[in-house]
Structure 1
Amino acid sequence: MKQQIMDGVYWVGVIDWALTHFHGHELSTHRGSTYNSYLIVDEKIALIDTVWGPFAEEFLHKVKEVVDPARIDYIVVNHAETDHSGALPALAALAPQAEILVSPKGMDSVPGHYRHAGDLRLRPVKTGDSVSLGQRDLLFVEAPMLHWPDSMFTYLTGSNLLMPNDAFGQHYASAFRFNDEVDQEELYEEALKYYANILTPFSPLVLKKIDEVLALGLPVDMIAPSHGVIWRKDPLQIVTQYQEWARQEPKRKAVILYDTMWEATRKMAEAVGEGLAESGVDHRLFHMSLTDRNDAITAIFEAGAVIVGSPCLNGGILPTITPILEDLRGLKFKNKVGAAFSSYGWSGEGLKRIEDHMKGARIDVVAEGVAAKWQPDGEALERCRELGRTVAKGLPA
């Protein structure tokens, strides 16, 4: 059902309890998600973002509980990705007089997604533009690459409500709508996972945009993202947290990623961990054929070191290891050190392949890699321990 979140502002989104993966299978969502939409009733009526297409009927029912859709004056599309705009064609058909407000880049992305939706009444708005709803105004701030070129924030004056679309959100389904009503550990786990897996490449832009928004001097009583819960209690806490995450200052932690065929690389991974522990470095081992890749990425985001091991297979590495190495390259993590280890039977190219991947991800390889033929003997395991000790020296004290 709809829910009033402040005077004249209604949440008309939907909860997707069953969602297990997002962006196809790119991102795991262990706790489901929400698609948040906000209906503002003033002298004029505005709707901020819609929901994913499969939930259009439920969404429209909630809108109709508040107003006749034909009365809507403005539909704001902060971001054209279909989890936020999928119900737009259905809503636009019921609100033919509504202007659809998009960022300048949205003039390309919105019709690009909905080529068969008929004549959508699009109007571009840029940073600093506003529209009056009567007692309150909508103010727009472009936020390109947070996380698409068309992304923007919408601010409701008078209510001091910031609706930043994908920024400050979480894939987190909950019976409740506000941050002070849910488990705080779960909330921050999901907020961190969201940032680490989606927004990390844009961290310099995150810092710049936050500074720009804060410089506007807009009071913020509530931050209502398009996924997860709404920040009502101390809403700027998540802004402060984003600033910390965007700086990517590493912790004295390490992550060891490995896969194994006949337990050789498992033994090596454990020995590397022993060397780290001897040096007082907390660490986690992830067996990548059994581990959720996004959970491993979240752990790497917080850690200062990532160490990767694989058997050699067909002159390369196991296919379970390659995807996360590609993720590390694409996510552009900063301030990481690392090293590699590998087992092999006759050729042994795997070690160099891993190190090349790490260098491509701009991870500073600070220890000589360890390659062990067949099962590692005592000397090879001691070299793994020394690798762990050496990596530990490259971490902040």
Structure 2
Amino acid sequence: MQLSDSIKYIGVDDHKIDLFEGQFDVPAGMAYNSYIILDDKIAVMDTVDEDFGEEWLSNIKKALAGKNPDYLVVQHMEMDHSSNIQKFVDVYPEAKIVSSKMAFVMMKSMFGTDFADKQVVVAEGSKLELGKHTLNFIAAPNVHWPEVIFTYESNEKVLFSADGFGKFGANDVEDPEGWACEARRYYFGIVGKFGANVQAVLKKAAALEINTIAPLHGPILTGADAKEAVRLYDIWSSYGVESEGVCVLYTSVYGHTKAVAEKFAEILKAKGCPKVAISDLAREDTYECVEDAFRYGKLVLATTTYNGGIFPIMKDFIGHLTERNYQNRKLGLIENGSWAPMANKAMAAAFEQSKGITICEAKVSVKISMTAETTSQLEKLADEILN
């Protein structure tokens, strides 16, 4: 994954990990990217996860070919990228550390020192001359931690984008679905709450000529792939609609609500819906479902009444959406209850603080099992959600 003769990849792949950040399933592993820029002055871009420090240092040594680095640029202090700062300092004590003011505060919390004698504090508009290469620093707060900086190298036109434009999966595993699928799950799972912050950084990036995007996770993006990634990030971070269709998500205790949801999906398809993405929240990956809910402009939730409210798995899922600023969507509701269906009212209330959520007037209420009346209600909901 060498970028050029002077910018080289020195990251690692992790196939030991099962859950990223303790919650995201990563069956294809994870990449922790790091880069080195070789010039009159030499800069290393970020470290890697703690478990791979020795491999990373070996990669640096090989790339240096007997030279010493002048700088370690720390764009993001999350532990999968910063854990080896102290090890780097131990091996290369003459190198300076380049980062934001807040990052150095975090370093003191993490390592017991803020490396005061090595600090090069940068902020929006700061530059660092390496020779032919110039690093231009871009403040990117809350993408997705508050101390984050991006770095634009203006000679080769490379945007080092921290966690931005990252994806799940190790780089040595070919992803048959391409970049967008796992990048989307990564974005909405991890960064999705901070759409306004991403939009602010995209506006800054729009003024730059970018040939290459070098993120801290996932593949290096060039040419048309980089342009497509920026296009999708603009949609995702503005809470726009990426794909036409309806996402149908359900929970079901004894199979009756599942049958209603599946019947609704059949009705949607019969009415010409271009895509129906239907999932059982209890059995599908939560963040795959979060991804689908954001991908499509229309969402239908079907669940059982539980303790006079929402079935726990559905309640938790709605929380995943609202805490990520779910907005600008049309929402349909389907409830089931053996004697007193109440879930629709509770689900509607859960979205009261969400922006731009239009709840369909046609609601579906079932008592235990589907009837002809249920089908009639489903037809009305389908007509409204599709129009």
TM-score under structure 1 normalisation?
0.89
Matches within 5 A, 1:253-332: 253-281=245-273, 282-332=275-325
Q: Which one of the candidate residues 21, 41, 45 is aligned to 2:19?
A: 21
* 8 Å contact kept, 1:271–1:385: no
Aligned match of 2:140:
143
Segments of 5+ residues of structure 1 without an aligned counterpart are 177-181
Quote how far apart the aligned CAs of 1:14 are.
Answer: 0.4
Amino acid at match of 1:221: N
- 1:69 deviation in Å? 9.4
1:239 correspondence with 2:230: yes
Contact 1:12 1:63 in 2 (8 A): yes
Aligned with residue 129 of structure 1, among 126, 129, 133: 126
CA drift at 1:364: 1.8
- 1:223–1:231: 8 Å Cα contact kept in structure 2? yes
CA displacement at 1:29 relative to structure 2: 2.4
Once residues 265 and 132 of structure 2 are traced to their aligned partners in structure 1, the CA distance between those partners, rounded to angstroms, is 61
Call closer, same or farther: CA 1:69–1:387 in 2, change over 3 Å.
farther
Equivalent residue, structure 2, for 1:154: 151
How far is the alpha carbon of 1:219 from its aligned partner?
3.2
1:166 Cα offset (Å): 0.9
What is the rounded CA distance, in whole Å, between the counterparts of 1:120 and 1:344 in structure 2? 66
2:51 to 38, 42, 54: 54
Question: Which residue identity lines up with residue 144 of structure 1 in the other structure?
Answer: P
Offset, 1:359: 3.0
* Matched residue, 1:34: 31
Task: Indicate conservation of the 8 Å contact 1:330/1:361, yes or no.
Answer: no
Of 341, 363, 382, 1:348 maps to 341
1:370 alignment counterpart:
364
Structure 1 residue 82 displacement after superposition: 0.7
Report what 2:181 is aligned to.
189
Query: Which residue is 1:358 aligned to?
Result: 351
Deviating more after overlay: 30-39 vs 98-107: 98-107
The alignment's C-alpha RMSD in Å is 2.3
1:258 Cα deviation from its structure 2 partner: 0.8
Post-superposition CA distance 1:191-250 (Å, at most 9, x none): 2222232333322332332222232xx432221111010013433332233223334332
For the Cα contact (< 8 Å) 1:164–1:224, is it kept in 2? yes
Aligned-pair CA distance for 1:119: 6.1
The one-letter code matched in structure 1 to 2:169 is: Y
SS of the residue corresponding to residue 137 of structure 2 reads strand
Instruction: State the one-letter code of the partner of 1:142.
Output: A
Contact kept, 8 Å, 1:274 with 1:388, in 2: the verdict is no
Structure 2 counterpart of 1:383:
377
Give CA-to-partner distance per residue, 1:124-170, whole Å, 9 cap, x none: 20111112222322221111121111111112232222211111121
* Alpha-carbon distance in structure 1 between the residues aligned to 2:379 and 2:156: 58
Between the two proteins, what is the percent identity of the paired residues?
Answer: 27
Cα distance in 2 for residues equivalent to 1:186 and 1:78: 26
Which of the numbers 47, 63, 70 marks the counterpart of 1:73?
A: 70
Q: Is the 8 A contact 1:274 1:385 kept in 2?
A: no
Q: TM-score, normalised by structure 2?
A: 0.91
How many equivalent residue pairs? Answer: 383
Structure 1 residues 163-172 or 59-68, which shifts more? 59-68
Structure 2 gap segments, 5+ residues each: none
